[in-house]
Amino acid sequence: MDSRWSLRGMTALVTGGARGIGHAIVEELAGFGARIHTCDKSEVHLNQSLREWKEKGFQVSGSVCDVSSRPQREKLMHTVSSLFGGKLNILINNVGICVTKPTVEYTAEDYSLQMTTNLESTFHLSQLGHPLLKASGYGSIVLVTSIGGVVSVPSGSICGASKGAMNQLARNLACEWASEGIRANAVAPSLVLTPLGQYIASHKNLQEGIESRTPLGRTGEPKEVAALVTFLCLPAASYITGQTICVDGGFTVNVKDLTFSLRFDLDEGFKSHLVREFVRPGFW
């Protein structure tokens, strides 16, 4: 295989890799030959995924980690450093959360939770990963953000602000760390058919509103996001850095309906489900 299209001999950390988009990213990277460590809040889901990957012959290890916790982030990076001999080629900041409410209804706790999980964890893990990425001689950071950080969508103002800040962080890291052989990019999905995304899409007013605005006329699949994330880590993408690339079927470039809006006039049970379960990336 042309070395430009191979990750053999490279190491990767993927946060939130046991489910959804993160799971697809782990499989895509592993398929190109990378050795991977991943983490997840759920030990049950993590162990299930690790068994699947072992059966497929992938080189994947894992540990339980809540990336909203600073001590747990530090422990995670210490584990990665020990596993990979103090070097890391690829860092995928994939974990995210979105609490969907009207702006006037957000609490201080809602703000802190989303900013800590989305922005602070990404910033801190990038800081912690910097010496490992530099030591590898070839470093690639990918931040999984959201189209909510690019355009206004009804995912909530705090989530959108945190994702927009992550997109800017990718640009800053790209410029600051380029001389050290480290690239940084952001990948911004729209609605993706993760288990939670499928639940949301089952509400026809939401699904139809999204698909009518999307030129390709459908929602995305986790593997379609994972394919771009993986490409950005390949040597073939060595001249791409500082970019935010939307994986959205054309949603963000479609201006045919400038009045597009999805209001959350849903029943209270569904709204509470969103707030309770919206802890994986891949919806916005």
Measured distance CA(76)–CA(90) in Å, rounded: 15
Q: Is 49 helix (H, G, I), strand (E, B) or coil?
A: helix
What share of residues in the chain are helix, strand, coil (percent, to 5)? 50, 15, 35
Say what the pLDDT of residue 197 is.
66
For residue range 218-228, what is the model confidence (pLDDT) as tens digits?
999 999 999 99
Fold of the 11-254 domain: Rossmann fold (3.40.50)
Say what the pLDDT of residue 120 is.
99
Measured distance CA(99)–CA(225) in Å, rounded: 22
Task: Kindly give, in sequence order, each residue whose CB lies less than 8 Å from that of residue 244, ignoring residues fewer than 6 positions away.
Answer: 145, 149, 150, 167, 170, 171, 185, 186, 187, 188
Exposed e or buried b for every residue in 173-190, given b needs 16+ CB within 10 A? bbeebeeeebbbbbbbbb
Do 60 and 246 meet the contact criterion of CB atoms below 8 Å apart? no
Do 169 and 119 meet the contact criterion of CB atoms below 8 Å apart? yes
Say what the pLDDT of residue 281 is.
43
Residue with tokens 């969907």: 100
The domain spans of the chain are 11-254
Per-residue pLDDT in tens (0 to 9) along the chain, 284 residues:
689 999 999 999 999 999 999 999 999 999 999 999 999 999 999 999 999 999 999 999 999 999 999 999 999 999 999 999 999 999 999 999 988 889 999 999 999 999 999 999 999 999 999 999 999 999 999 999 999 999 988 778 999 999 999 999 999 999 999 999 999 999 999 989 887 666 666 666 777 778 889 999 999 999 999 999 999 999 999 999 999 999 999 999 997 654 444 444 444 554 444 444 444 444 44
DSSP per position, 237-252: GTT--S-EEEESTTGG
Do 67 and 39 meet the contact criterion of CB atoms below 8 Å apart? yes
Say what the pLDDT of residue 1 is.
65
In this prediction the pTM is 0.89
